[in-house]
Amino acid sequence: MYHTPITYQTYLSSPDKGKCLLQAIRAYRVSPFFRDGLQASAYFRGENPAIAQKTVLRASKVETTDASGRRRVRTRMKDVVGSRVYSGFFGRFVTQQAQYLLGNGVTLGDPGLKARLGADFDLTLARMGEKALQHGVCWGYWNTDHLEIVEAVRDPCSGFFPLIDEVSGEARMGVQFWQLEARSPLCVRLFEPQGVSMWREEKGQLVPAGDFRPYRLIRRESVLGTELVAEAVRALPLVPFWANEERRSELTPAIRSKIDCYDRILSDFADNLDRANDVYWVLNNFGGTLDDIAEVLETIQRLKAVTSISDGAGGASTAEPHTISVPYEARQAALKLLEKALYQDYMALNMEELTGGSLTNVAIRAACASLDLKANRFEWQAYAFVRGILALLDADTEAVRFTRQTIADESEIIRNIQVMRPDIDRATALRLNPYLQPEEVDGLTGEERTA
């Protein structure tokens, strides 16, 4: 878990709480964790900070006039913006992993308990999964009766970090900060052990900007069933959703370096194609200066001809136009190797492996084996997060299940159901049918019971 040099004990012992919070926010903004999170967000959006700095060396023409009125043409070399081609590997990988596990939501053994989580819990959970994979962690704030996303890294001016207890290593407080832009006032929402307070930057000082609001998270019905009794929360209502056991972004150096190499090859190839569109001239037996060459080439471009190209040495001078043939076989092979390595390293599913009409469910499961293993590790974190939220509701259950978005040959499943039909009842056959939704199966089995 990342933490700033400002701990929970540091905050408690500080005589100036606002100054202490400002120091913690500044330390977090310059931390490697925050910087890596911003980079991961850029890669997820299909950008590449490394390729965004790419330039190429180009020659330009500079015209001047000397004292005698003669026009002079010079060449000048300068860096210009080249082709910057970005790939979307990281966004594709993160979306695939998050939706594969969380796309169908979470199932709890007690339907009433699931209803207490709110109607949007599954959608919020899936969005949190994507944020966690990008940044390494995403925090969930249980606000009375619904879940709110608290991103560790939102933009260069906004984010969230915990204040860690030096003894237990647990998050005892949370600091959420944001600005509309760098010149706007800094706003802070401070999650303290007993409630939430708002702070605002004024004249370089962080001062309270509102009343302290205590938590009211657990609600129970009284014995009579008519009165709602509100109880104060017994724990900080912030639960981390980690991306993995290492608690770091899935944009590892192994993945990032390969994406950079892939984008660099594509960008350089685009630059070469752009240069290959131009004709270049080979001036044979020409003894002129660069300025003379620039003047000759300008004459050729303007008149499409030149009367004499001679350096006075007596030999004939010629000008031959040539074009560039851009090699692509080596680049194409490198791109394919990098793409394969990216899918292998991230353990993602390449849909090109599933093309063809003769794939069986066994072949499909074999192709999805790496993704299943990756989803298993991610499911550990999702399971721990959901149980952490349930603990805030004073509910303890291990019946937490995730239904993955599997790929299968549904016609083969139907054939297998027909083969098994003598050994299973109709209700089981209906539940196995991929074309029927659970509520449709319940309706059909209900009709059977009433008949």
Q: Which helix (H) or strand (E) holds 254?
A: helix 253-276
Assigned domain for 272 exists: no
Of 290, 322, 354, the domain-final residue: 322
Q: Would you state the structure tokens that stand for residue 190, as one six-digit string?
A: 């401070």
Assigned domain for 315 exists: yes
Assigned domain for 446 exists: yes
DSSP string for 235-256: S-SEEEEESSTT-S-S--HHHH
Assigned domain for 311 exists: yes
Distances (CA, A) of 12 to 21, 164, 169, 346: 11, 12, 16, 42
Of 322, 355, 372, the domain-final residue: 322
The rounded distance, in Å, linking the Cα atoms of 188 and 177 is 4
The rounded distance, in Å, linking the Cα atoms of 82 and 266 is 12
pLDDT tens column, 95-140: 999 999 999 899 998 888 889 998 899 999 999 999 999 999 999 9
Name the DSSP class of 158: E
The number of folded domains in the chain is 2
The rounded distance, in Å, linking the Cα atoms of 86 and 262 is 9
Distances (CA, A) of 261 to 35, 328, 343, 387: 21, 16, 15, 41
Question: pLDDT truncated to tens, each residue of the chain (451 aa)?
Answer: 567 889 999 999 999 999 999 999 999 999 999 999 999 999 999 999 888 877 665 656 667 777 777 776 666 666 666 778 889 999 999 999 999 999 989 999 888 888 999 889 999 999 999 999 999 999 999 988 899 999 999 999 999 999 999 998 899 999 999 998 878 889 999 999 888 999 999 888 888 888 888 886 555 555 555 555 555 455 789 999 999 999 999 999 999 999 999 999 888 877 776 666 556 666 666 666 666 766 766 666 665 555 555 545 555 666 666 555 657 788 889 999 999 999 999 999 888 877 655 567 677 777 788 899 999 999 999 999 999 999 988 888 888 999 888 766 566 667 777 778 787 887 887 777 766 777 677 777 665 554 4
Of 294, 322, 350, the domain-final residue: 322
The rounded distance, in Å, linking the Cα atoms of 140 and 191 is 12
3-class SS shares of the chain: helix, strand, coil, % to 5: 45, 25, 35
pLDDT tens column, 259-303: 999 999 888 877 776 666 556 666 666 666 666 766 766 666 665
Assigned domain for 428 exists: yes
pTM to 2 decimal places? 0.77
The rounded distance, in Å, linking the Cα atoms of 41 and 154 is 8
Range of the domain at 441: 413-451
